[in-house]
Structure 1
Amino acid sequence: MIRRGGLVVLASVCAVAVSTIYAIQPVLKTAGSDLGLTEGALGWLVAAGQFGYLAGLVLLVPLGDVFNRRTLIVGHLMLTATGAAITAVAPGGAIAAAGMAITGLFAVVVQIAVAYVAANSSPGERGRNIGTVTAGVVAGILGIRVVGGALGDALGWRAVYAVLAVLCVGLALTVRITFQPDVRLAKTPYPSVLAAAGRLVVTDRFFLSRGLIAFFLFASFGTLWSGLALPLGAAPWQFGTTTIGLFGLAGLVGAAGASRAGLWADAGRAQAVTGWSLALLAVSWILTMHTTPTLWMLIAGVVLLDFAVQAVHVSNQHLLTAAYPERSSSAIGTYMAFYSLGSALGAVTTTWAYTAAGWQASCLLGAAYAVAALIVWTLARNTTAAPCAVPAATEPA
């Protein structure tokens, strides 16, 4: 079992690791100008980290079902630090994108941490513990907007990545000292683990439905947070990166409000929470599209949107780790591949929509993604997981 202090450490790992992917968003215009990128190319700078993350989810997260998870967490944090350091010193857009791709590739340490928590929690505490660690993810995604915006204004956008690199190294050492080795009782061949993950997508309707919900959920989420700096940085507001970053606080309020989602999931209400939260996500965009004459409706929409996203995300992970206990790393990693694709889609399409028709077009796009997720849930809400076919394991080494 994991003690409270261990949960805090793993939540911090998640917060810092995921921050390396999203740190570019509050300083996007500044970084783009420094790196010589056009406004139309900014979405690809954001998407570089997401595509790296996708590759890591498919290729690296399943290693958690094979090897010592403590060793994986430490190693991935060190390599995440390397990618952040490359980004911090990049002379141009291509090197910065490469650094962000490396960072994203190994930032999948987040999913290894979630699988570790799920495997070491009792059934009655699994949802609560996953919710605690996942709160670190949301704190990183949204909190980096506040911290990154302030650092970007004070020291430049490169300082944001330098600080994150140092934090990753510090957390790697903390995990190495704090946690005991997490040795698999039996060795499952890595190719078999990858094949089993692929079969989840192809043959398991329950898993596929949860993946598609995540895809549209995070496309909607990415539409907001990858594009919000654009209207806030333009007339009539023309905010700097520090002020834009403060909008992450509104998102943190919403995410914190959804901290009970894990408890609701433990009580057997994960399906119902998913449905009404997706409906709330769609409604939140009605508020978010209003940027004049005041920003209060936008702020309220941000709070509701992040509440809904966190509630659905925790519910999804609870359902998946309960359905596939023998391959939780593979299930979470493959599920999060849908998340990463959705986030990348939101990052790219929100800049296109904004360039073509302004912020209202971006909001309509985000609402469409939310409605698509709700349709998937409606069609698949009575679907159950297929029987778990665990790959044959070899004898313990």
Structure 2
Amino acid sequence: MKKLYMIFCLNFIEKYRGRFKIYFELVYSMYTMEMEMFKMTIKESFELNKFIIFIMALTCTVTVANLYYCQPLLGQIAKSFNVTEANAGFVVTLTQVGYALGMLFLVPLGDIKERKKLIIEMLLLVSVFLFAAFISRNYYVLLVTSFLIGFTTIVPQLIVPFAAHLSKPEERGQVIGNVLSGLLIGILLSRVFSGIIGDILGWRNVYLIASLLMVSFLFIIVFLFPKSKPTSKISYKKLIFSMWGLIKREKVLREASINGALMFGSFSIFWTALVFLLESKVYNMGSKEAGFFGLVGIVGALAAPVVGKVADKKTPRFAVGFAIIFSTIAYVCFWGMGYKIYGLVIGVILLDLGNQTGQVSNQARVQAISDQERSRINTVFMVSYFIGGSIGSFVAAVFWQKFGWSGVCAIGMFFQIIAVIFHYFIYGTKFSIRNKYGQVR
């Protein structure tokens, strides 16, 4: 079996090495040129303004989209490789598992390395892996490239602590809210984009366009992003192991991480299963229609800056409570009215509003913990967040296959009930404490 696998890998490399060579040469030449520009355009002092916040949000939009292009395309992918819908769901699961591991092992580097250069390097790598997905002709090759796409799509999680570091303490919640609004818009529009392009040009071309987008944003970042000084001077090994100390020491971080995992788990359950529902006999729709539901969820993304202001003026934990309520009501709508378009629309608005409110508020809480450990704090929170998302994507495909839409709604509601129990009963209000700036966490 091992010998057959080696023969398969060698044949794959031999068959596509010409395409890879051309692509690598093009991307590497751009990278080399941009590194020279990088050296010439570095500035030691920098003032964060609205335009740079917008560019940061836009970068989050186009990069985080890499994680979600596949969701409306699962039906096409299943047919293309002649696999079941449950097996096609592993494309989503492995992408998010890769993302979680990338955050665990790569995002902490933002505390000890120059962030701008690190962001550029990650964009270079993910562009190559997206191109590999475009030319893949085997289901298992696609699974591997999906994992690698997730592993290197960590740019948004480098930008969030970067923005928090550059912002004033009294404006941090609003700045994070603006940046995260770009992230959620990317999550939602990625489904619209991939649904339309997939319907017209096929699922492979979605990955090709995404790869070219990553290369394009290298130029934007080189010219506009500021240089950042590393906030810590420790070895990589100590950097990784120090996160366990953060988990043990910071109660607020533990609470926010558990809440984030449960909230994003229920969010991923719905969006993974939605395409299967719309392609079923109930609706007889396709990937394009599934993608258009992302437009509905933009209402939640637009609320992010408002949520950030509430978190700055009142308490982030107060906003998290509302987020849980919004998402729980969303699943009531899905369960009771999921076979009606208006039921799905109402539920999508509430679910995306709840997810965005929860993420912005939890990020405002954890980013106020420490100035020197922001990347590691963000890693702990977001790894938990996407572990929840990976589990949600996996169980969504399994429960759809075995129990249909009712099963999907049941498991999503289960995640929400656990979130309610943790927020209101296990943790209560005992961890709403003030940081050194006087802000309530």
Report deviation, 1:40.
2.1
1:376 aligns with 2:422: yes
User: How far, CA to CA, are the matches of 2:232 and 2:315 in structure 1?
Assistant: 34
Superposed CA offset, 1:208-255 (max 9, x none): 111110110111000011110011110131101111110111111222
Pairing of 1:191-206 with structure 2 (within 5 A): 191-206=237-252
In structure 2, C-alpha distance between the alignment counterparts of 1:43 and 1:324, rounded to whole Å:
38
SS at match of 1:289: helix
* Aligned position for 2:121: 75
| Partner in structure 2 of residue 104 of structure 1 | 150
Change (3 A) 1:227 1:293: closer
1:172 aligns with: 218
Task: Give the structure 2 partner of residue 394 of structure 1.
Answer: none
Q: Secondary structure at the match of 1:114?
A: helix
Q: Which has the higher contact order (CA 8 A, sep 6+)?
A: 1
Give unpaired runs (5+ residues) of structure 1: 389-397
Distance 1:205 1:292 in 2: 38
Comparing 145-154 with 34-43, greater Cα deviation is found at 34-43
In 2, are the aligned partners of 1:353 and 1:361 still within 8 Å (CA)?
Answer: yes
What letter corresponds to residue 368 of structure 2 in structure 1? A
Displacement of 1:290 after TM fit?
A: 4.4
Take 2:313 and 2:337, find their aligned partners in 1: how far apart are those partners? 39
CA–CA separation in structure 1 for the residues paired with 2:225 and 2:299: 31
Alpha carbons of structure 1 residues 2 and 292: separation in structure 2 relative to 1, 3 Å: closer
Cα distance in 2 for partners of 1:306, 1:100 equals: 24
CA distance in 2, matches of 1:386, 1:54: 29
1:69–1:112 Cα contact (<8 Å) kept: yes
Residue type of the alignment partner of 1:75: E
In structure 2, which of residues 80, 83, 89 is the aligned counterpart of residue 43 of structure 1? 89
User: Are the equivalent residues in 2 in contact too, given 1:82–1:165 (CA < 8 A)?
Assistant: yes
| 1:297 correspondence with 2:378 | no
CA distance in 2, matches of 1:372, 1:225: 20
1:140 matched to which residue of 2?
186
**8 Å contact from structure 2 (residues 160, 179) kept in 1:** yes
Q: Tell me, in whole angstroms, the C-alpha distance in 1 between the residues paired with 2:399 and 2:209.
A: 33
* Distance in 1, Cα, partners of 2:177 & 2:369: 17
Residue ranges of structure 2 left out of the alignment (5+ in a row): 1-46, 437-441
Partner of 1:268 in structure 2?
Answer: 314
Of 197-206 and 227-236, the range deviating more from structure 2: 197-206
Farther-moved stretch of structure 1 (335-344 vs 249-258):
249-258
Q: 1:334 Cα deviation (Å)?
A: 1.3
Partners of 1:27 and 1:155 in 2: CA distance:
12
SS in 2 for 1:358: helix
For 1:337, the equivalent position in structure 2 comes to 383
Deviates more, 1:242-251 or 1:7-16: 7-16
**TM-score, length of structure 2 as denominator length:** 0.85
Select between 13-22 and 149-158 the one with higher mean Cα deviation.
13-22
Picking from 298, 301, 314, the partner of 1:252 is: 298
Residue pair 1:129, 1:262 contacting (<8 A) in 2 also = yes
Change (3 A) 1:373 1:218: same
For these two proteins, the number of residue pairs brought into alignment is 388
Task: Kindly report which structure 2 residues correspond to 1:22-33, keeping only aligned pairs within 5 A, or say none.
Answer: 22-33=68-79
- Residue 365 in 1 paired to residue 411 in 2? yes
* Structure 2 letter corresponding to 1:22: Y
Report the TM-score when normalising by structure 1.
0.94
Q: Distance in 2 between matches of 1:39 and 1:330?
A: 36
Task: Identify the range of structure 1 (254-263 vs 227-236) with the bigger mean alpha-carbon deviation.
Answer: 254-263
Structural mapping, 1:11-22, within 5 Å: 11-22=57-68
- CA shift for structure 1 position 259: 3.3
**What are the equivalent positions in structure 2 for 1:218-257 lying under 5 Å apart?**
218-257=264-303
Deviation per CA, 1:252-296: give whole Å up to 9, x if none. 122223431111111132111111220221111111234566310
Q: In the alignment, what sits opposite 2:394?
A: 348
Query: How many angstroms apart in 2 are the aligned matches of 1:258 and 1:38?
Result: 37
Shift of 1:52: 0.7
For residue 105 of structure 1, what is the amino acid of its counterpart?
Answer: F
Aligned to 2:134: 88
- Displacement of 1:192 in angstroms is 2.1
Deviation for aligned residue 1:157: 0.4
* Partners of 1:323 and 1:385 within 8 A in 2: no
For 2:136, the aligned partner's letter is A
- Specify whether residues 337 and 185 from structure 1 end up closer, same or farther in structure 2 by C-alpha distance, changes over 3 A only: closer
1:309 aligns with 2:355: yes
- Aligned-pair Cα RMSD in Å: 1.7
- Note if contact 1:204-1:385 (Cα within 8 Å) is conserved in structure 2: no
Q: Note if contact 2:275-2:286 (Cα within 8 Å) is conserved in structure 1.
A: no
**In structure 1, C-alpha distance between the alignment counterparts of 2:55 and 2:218, rounded to whole Å:** 10
Does the 8 Å CA contact 1:213/1:377 hold for their aligned counterparts?
yes
| Cα offset, 1:79, TM superposition | 1.0
Letter in 1 for 2:164: A
Q: Which moved more, 1:371-380 or 1:166-175?
A: 371-380
Q: 1:234 aligns to what SS in structure 2? A: coil
What is the deviation of 1:384? 5.7
SS in 2 for 1:162: helix
Q: Tell me the CA shift for residue 188 of structure 1.
A: 2.7
CA 1:150–1:342 in structure 2 vs 1: closer, same or farther (change >3 Å)? same
1:71-120 Cα deviation digits (max 9, x unpaired)? 11111111111111111111111111111111111111111000100000
CA separation in 2, counterparts of 1:387 and 1:299? 39
2:366 corresponds to 1:320: yes
Q: Which amino acid in structure 1 is aligned with residue 260 of structure 2?
A: A
Change in Cα spacing, 1:268 to 1:154, as seen in structure 2 (3 Å) is: same
